[in-house]
Amino acid sequence: MRLMGRVPRSRLGYDFAQLILLTFIRSHVAALGTPWNVDITGDRAYFVAPMTYTFKQHGKPVKETASFAVSLKRTQTGWRITGWAFSKQKVE
C-alpha cells in the first residue's frame, strides 16, 4: 500500500498519511513480531501479532508496543486486508 503520493491506493492509506502529517510524526517504522494466533478457514484468515511502532514526534523519539489484529480475504490475486485493529499497550 502506498501511503504518500498523488493518488493513495486506499482510503486507509490516505487516512494514515493525513494522521502522520497532522500529528507531526516523522521517521516512522512498524515492525511485526511472530504471530500469537493465526486462523485460516477457507478464503478467510485472521491473525494477531505483537507490534513495535517507532517514530519521532516533534523531534522526540517515541516507541509504542501494541497488539495488531488483521482479518483477510483470499482473492484471485492474493490475500487482501478486510479489517485491522491496533491496540496500544505501552508508550516509551
Spatial separation of the C-alpha atoms in residues 47 and 74, rounded to whole Å:
14
Over the stretch 51-60, which tens digit does the pLDDT of each residue have? 998 888 788 8
Asked, for residue 8, whether it belongs to a domain, the answer is: no
Cell, residue 20? 502522520
Cα separation values, 40 from 37, 53, 57, Å = 10, 26, 37
Note whether residue 9 is domain-resident: no
pTM over 0.75: no
- Domain containing 38: what range? 26-91
Q: What is the CATH number of the domain that holds 67?
A: 3.10.450.50
Predicted confidence band of residue 18 (pLDDT cuts 50, 70, 90): low
DSSP 69: E
Number of domains making up the chain: 1
